[in-house]
Amino acid sequence: MPYLFTSESVSEGHPDKVADQISDALIDNFLAFDPNSKVACETLVTTGQVVLAGEVKSKAYLDVQEIARGVIRKIGYTKSEYMFEANSCGVFSAIHEQSSDINQGVDKKKKEEQGAGDQGMMFGYATNETEDYMPLALDLAHKILLELAALRRENKQIKYLRPDAKSQVTLEYDDKNRPVRIDAIVVSTQHDDFDTEAKMQDKIQKDIISILIPRVKAKYKKYAKLFNDGIKYHINPTGKFVIGGPHGDTGLTGRKIIVDTYGGKGAHGGGAFSGKDPSKVDRSAAYATRHIAKNLVAAGLCDEVLVQVSYAIGVAQPTSIYVNTYGTAKVKLSDGEIAKRVSKLFDMRPYFIEQRLKLRTPIYSETAAYGHMGRKPEVVTKTFKTPDGKEKNVKVELFTWEKLDHVAKVKKEFGLK
């Protein structure tokens, strides 16, 4: 029976994402100057104020206030009327040293025996309904906001946009679990003040439908067939959205974990990613399970898969590995038997995850908006500054967990052609 499924995304200017980006910028700077840094940094943003709190063990010394301001500036909060502005906002740091009680469970004499930074369960998911093996509704929601941000920065076709925005996409699926059309699109975007609310509503509605949506269709042609004349559009449905960003809502690190992952598809273990170094398996193991799931689907083992791993704090070996192919497996094995073979192919001890995915490098700022999963792996050079102005260039590989570098191994293990 046909059904509807919905996912949402939020822009880089959303207050929770501002917090995520600041936390991950701090992670990157610590790792750039000390790859062995242990960091758990939370950020709170509100009207005219940033609060940094967390635990750090590192040889690096940073100007955390300037790093936070740089992130805010890059996002686009550069005008006083936003009531949250890069140069004038207060930045309060309450970052302190990491507990030795926690650290003794992570650091071991042999690196290979590195324990998990916390207990818990992490999930990875993949589906073949898109080319990047991501759920389609979330992928579309991200693409809409990426294009909206591009329009804001261009400041040509639409000149009133402000940084805060949200999107939501509802898809109709057929009896065979395939997406067939877009049923509804929601876009709420912060904007400059207008003369009248009626004029504002009419202008924004027209621009989103006649400028933004055609750009999305043109740029992502593989999705064009899903757009139709019957789509229900809800554009700024509450009306006026001048007050936004951290002035409109307080933002906190780690509150958009479903946006960060699979938009409600699959499952989530509950742990946030941003602000955590890779010894925290909330982050590293979630990336590792995505890496497994994507390679399993890309190898043709199944059409859709959920992979779970769990840990005890301070213990290297996972307490469990679980696989659910939702009945789409192409091999005559149970999901439990598939899980056993997966555990042989992918070493899920924390140290080996860090090494396999190159996680002790400053790669995290790029993850903090528009999703941690489904992104393009690429090699870039990033520049970091010390408090005294010295620069350090670091060549890094982004989104390593999205690489299809284990497809051949999966095919061999499962006898796939």
Q: Are strands 49-57 and 90-97 parallel, antiparallel or unpaired?
A: parallel
Residue 164 annotated as part of some ligand binding site: yes
Residue 156 annotated as part of some ligand binding site: no
Residue 372 annotated as part of some ligand binding site: no
Residue 272 annotated as part of some ligand binding site: yes
Cα-Cα-Cα-Cα dihedral of 402, 408, 414, 416, to 10°? 110
Residue 298 annotated as part of some ligand binding site: no
Residue 241 annotated as part of some ligand binding site: yes
- Return the exposure string of 221-230: e unless at least 16 CB atoms fall within 10 Å of the residue's CB, then b: eebeebbeee
Residue 255 annotated as part of some ligand binding site: yes
- What is the rounded CA–CA span in Å between residue 41 and residue 51? 10
Contact between residue 88 and residue 80 where contact means Cβ atoms under 8 Å apart? yes
CA 147 to chain centre: 17
Residue 126 annotated as part of some ligand binding site: no
Residue 291 annotated as part of some ligand binding site: no
Residue 24 annotated as part of some ligand binding site: no
Backbone phi, then psi, for 228, in 5-degree steps?
-150, 170
Residue 317 annotated as part of some ligand binding site: no
Q: Nearest 5 degrees, angle CA 235-CA 240-CA 243?
A: 115
Residue 215 annotated as part of some ligand binding site: no
Residue 166 annotated as part of some ligand binding site: yes
Residue 249 annotated as part of some ligand binding site: yes
Residue 390 annotated as part of some ligand binding site: no
Beta bridge mates, 165: 189
Query: What string of DSSP letters covers 377-390?
Result: PEEEEEEEE-TTS-
Residue 217 annotated as part of some ligand binding site: no
As annotated, the binding site for Mg(2+) includes 16
Binding-site residue ranges: 14, 16, 42, 55, 98, 164-166, 240-241, 249, 255-256, 272, 276, 280
Q: Per the annotation, where are the binding residues for K(+)?
A: 42
Binding positions for ATP are: 14, 164-166, 240-241, 249, 255-256, 272, 276
